[in-house]
Amino acid sequence: RLPLGSEQDESGSVRESAPANGPTVELEFHQIDVRYERLRVRQPARERRLLASLAEAGQQIPIVVVATGAAYVVVDGHKRVRCLQRLQRDTVAAVIWEMPEPEALIFRQLLHTDPTTSALEHGWLLRTLHEDHGLALDALARRFDRSVSWVSRRLSLVRTLPDPIQQHVHAGQLVAHAAMKYFVPLARANAADCVRLVEAIAPHRLTTRQIGRLYEAYVAGATATRELVLTDPLLVLRVA
């Protein structure tokens, strides 16, 4: 097993992790609540690597949970949970953080300084802490050592972008940077057109550059061009 304070990440390598502050237990899957997996973007390639690592070496470090009555709420390790379920394991090892849910969510975020975390993911966490757990904006700013403006901008981001588009981002079908750069402005101008455009291009898992080209073609184009973007976006990319 790995030494205390290290963790097997998605690629199977070892990185620093949160220290355990409570007991480690074996939980059956029906005992855990994964409500907070919606706060992180899924990354299919990293998840496939983690699946292969778990299949070969087994679970090397517990997930992190907090106890809430009859269930254990996962605050870290959602990819491991999904992979272990795919491998048809019976249980998952978990360490219990003995603190309230909002404190655990904040602690987890402060410990995991992942440079790939998007402003949308920050917004999802802040909205959960503000709307579900009642933390004021100035309190959130203090806890994350940020300005109230920083908190407000990220909350505005998730409140502006239509939910169907955010679901595509969460599923890993739409690059978060592209959603923020191109679809937030379009959503402010015309939310219905924004959703139609995203529904047309999300299944193709395009790059930010490709999405930018389609966005420009749609915004600047005549009615016929817009319909072509919606019905055959790959053709537009070939001829643009």
Q: How far apart are CA 225 and CA 223, in angstroms?
A: 5
Kind of pairing between the strands at 14-16 and 71-76:
unpaired
- Predicted confidence at residue 229, as pLDDT, reads 92
DSSP state of 100: -
Predicted pLDDT of residue 21 = 63
**Ranges of the chain whose pLDDT falls below 70:** 1-21
Q: Are 17 and 5 in contact (CB under 8 A)?
A: yes
Residue 23 CB coordination number (10 Å): 9
Element (H, E) at 6: strand 6-8
What's the rounded Cα separation, in Å, for the pair 221 and 227? Answer: 9
pTM of this structure: 0.85
First to last CA, the chain: 53
Please report the pLDDT score of residue 240 as a whole number: 72
Residue 180 and residue 235: Cα distance in Å, rounded? 24
Q: Position 100: which residue type?
A: P
- Give the separation between CA 194 and CA 199, rounded to whole angstroms: 9
